[in-house]
Each structure stands twice: as C-alpha cells, then as structure tokens.
Amino acid sequence: MLDILNLDSLEERARALLDPMLFDYIDGGAADEWTLAENRAAWTRLQLLPRMLRGVADRSLGTTVLGTPVSFPVLVPPMAFHGLCHLDAEAATARAAAAEETIFVASTVSNCSLEAIAEASTTGARWFQLYVYKDRAITQDLVQRAAAAGYSALCLTVDTPYGGHRERDARNSLRMPAHLALGNFPPSHTDQHHHGTGHGSALGQYIAAQWDPGLTWQDVDWLRSIAPMPVVIKGVLAPDDAALCVEHGAAAVIVSNHGGRQLDSVPAPITMLEAVCEAVDGRAEVLLDGGVRRGTDVLKALALGARAVLVGRPLLWGLTLDGEQGVRAVLQHVRGELDLAMALAGCASVADVPRELVLR
Ligand SMILES: Cc1cc2nc3c(=O)[nH]c(=O)nc-3n(C[C@H](O)[C@H](O)[C@H](O)COP(=O)(O)O)c2cc1C
C-alpha cells in the first residue's frame, strides 16, 4: 500500500514519474495561478474552535449524497484523461472509488469509454460529467449513453465556455500521448488531441472547436428535459448563480473554480460556501471542491454547509504512483485525517458538525 504522510507529499513523488508536459497539465492552473494558490491559502485563514468531553469514541463518517450512501463525505471529481497517469486509467479510479464506497464522477473527456468505466465498477455509484458540444446530437447521445449505463446523476460543468488560459500547457504545446484515445468519441476527436494545430495546447484548441460557449440557463432546462437522472451543476461561485441552479431544477450545486484552471483571480470556493448555502437555502445539496488536502479542510466545509467535498489532483498522484491501490490509499488517508479531526474537534458524526466549529 502506498505510504502517505500527507497529500502534499504525493505531488513531488508523482512528478518524478511523469513526463513534465503531463505533470504540468495536471498540476497547473490558469494565468498567474493566483486562484490555484488561493484555493489552498483560503483554508488556512479559517480556524477551528473544538469542543471537549463530547464522547467521541464511536464516530460515524457515513452520509448520503443525492440519496446515495457514501462511506465518508469525499467524492471523486471529474478529471480528464486518467490514462496520463496509469494505463488502467478511469477504470482503476472508478474501481477504487467503489471499493472505498464513494461516488466516482466520470469526465466527458475520459480515456475509457463511459461504458467501460461502468463495467469496471458495476457495484460503484457513478455520475457522468457533461460538457455540452456545439453539435447537440453528440451531447444528446452522451446523455442517453450515460443513462443506459447506469450513471445516477448528470453533472453539468458550467465554468468552461472556453478553456482557461493555462500558460504551462501553451508553453509545452500540450498533446495527448499517442497510446491514448478519447474513450467516448470517434477517432477524429482523438486526432485533435494528438496533433493539434501549430503551437499551443491541443486541448484548448479542441475545447474552442467543440464545446458550446453559447450555453445559457435555457440549456439547463433542455438538459433536464432529456436527462432521466437528476442534474448537478458544477462550477458556480456566485450565490445568485447557485439560486438560479435551484430555480432551474438542479438537485445539487458544486461550488468550484475548476481547481484554479479557468478564470484566474476568482475566490476560492470555500470563501463563497456559506453565502452559496444561504442562497440555496436547503433546496438542493451543496458540494465543494478546490484545494481540499486535509481532513480539517473537509471538516471546515461541512461546518460551513457542504454536504460533501471532492478531492482532485491528489487522486491523480495516487493513480500515477500505484494505480487503483494508490487511489484507494489517497481516499483512505483523507478518511483517516477526517476521522481524527472530528474526534479532536468533538464531533462524533458528520451529521453533527456545528457551524460554530469554524470561528467567525
Ligand atoms: C487534470 C485535471 C483535469 C480536470 N478535468 C475536468 C473535467 O474534465 N471536467 C470537470 O468538470 N472538471 C475537471 N477538472 C476540475 C476538477 O473536477 C476539480 O474541480 C478540481 O480538480 C478540484 O480541485 P483540486 O484539484 O485542487 O482538488 C479537472 C482538474 C484537473 C486537475
């Protein structure tokens, strides 16, 4: 089993194994990477005020997300191209999530097809993350295939009308390695990632060519009309947008800035969480991602109203270092840190994390 002291320590270990272009793609953020850094820094500005003598010998970390039981409130977010990290790609990550009893969110741009991911983790709970293509027939087909393959929610990412200005990828002229494909699409899509045109990021070019920057709230209504499963909206920061998500029928909202990879200068999701929860007012579940690296981060998010959080890059480092077992080790490590943090803070159950735990 991968030996983990803390999640940060995985990054340098994974860097040693990865082609620098691929490491940069995973690790990097947009522009000056101010938001990328802020996603971590924002947690350090929140302090916990623990309570004592509350009898924490028996702790319960399990909860539900959209009715699905999870063993602890940490999910696997959608991330493109797990094949960059390990040949087993998303199949390994999905199996790990299933083994640790949490939800795996499969990206539109996975290396494994959504059907292969479903086959790899028949017992696991899965959501499908959707990017809306200009060609609506492609979009509709993805939604139907996800429903047929048993994905229990559709996670619409709304913060990516275009790819963010990721300077590392531009500098490296990011290309997908020749042995990998886009699992959900015909070879012509993969070709665009292998070759690109001229300099710059082939992924950025693909996004500009394929994804629909004209998306509006009416498209959310359209998706709800074609999707038999609940719709989760990922990538909002403004409380007013969160309220609109609810008005347009979202079952859950993920407060996220795409791991600092889209618009630079935006606040860390944890900064906006409480205001978003106020705007949503219990009408939908609120989740959060961005820089969650410690059990105490999870605890802070729960106290400020999140139903659950998602941990991104460290899972890809775990996948790089030890495949399925590496992803399991990362999830287990976060669970262990959360368990101890709860005990030390006087919380026996994730349902019982009071707002007062985070100092105002
Ligand atoms: C390599 C990589 C690829 C990603 N691909 C997607 C994607 O395909 N769809 C999506 O909605 N978000 C994507 N994201 C954003 C993640 O879902 C998540 O919001 C972010 O990684 C959380 O921040 P963290 O990495 O600091 O934990 C990606 C993030 C990374 C690091």
Instruction: With cut-offs at 50, 70 and 90, classify the pLDDT of residue 39.
Output: very high
Query: Does the annotation mark 258 as catalytic?
Result: yes
> Which amino acid, residue 252?
A
Question: What percentage of the chain exceeds 90 in pLDDT?
Answer: 99
Q: What is the pLDDT of residue 221?
A: 98
> What tokens appear for 295 in the block?
């059990």
Q: What is the pLDDT of residue 227?
A: 98
Instruction: Report pLDDT digits (tens) over 211-257.
Output: 999 999 999 999 999 999 999 999 999 999 999 999 999 999 999 99
* Cα of 133 from ligand 1 centre, angstroms: 18
Q: What is the pLDDT of residue 341?
A: 98
* Cα of 258 from ligand 1 centre, angstroms: 5
- CA dist 106 and 22 (Å) reads 19
Q: Taking 90 as the threshold, does the pLDDT of residue 279 lie above it? A: yes
Q: Which atom of ligand 1 is nearest to the CA of 292?
A: 27
Instruction: With cut-offs at 50, 70 and 90, classify the pLDDT of residue 352.
Output: very high
> What tokens appear for 353 in the block?
């994390």
Q: What is the pLDDT of residue 360?
A: 85
Number of domains in the chain: 1
Domain of residue 245, CATH code: 3.20.20.70
For residue 40, list its beta bridge partners. Answer: none
What is the domain range of residue 310?
A: 8-357
Mean pLDDT confidence for 164-168: 98
Residues 82, 86, 193, 258: which is the catalytic one?
258
* Residue 282 buriedness (CB in 10 A; 0-12 / 13-18 / 19+): exposed
Mean pLDDT confidence for 168-182: 98
Instruction: With cut-offs at 50, 70 and 90, classify the pLDDT of residue 80.
Output: very high
- CA dist 93 and 314 (Å) reads 12
Enter the pTM of the model.
Answer: 0.99
Mean pLDDT confidence for 322-327: 98
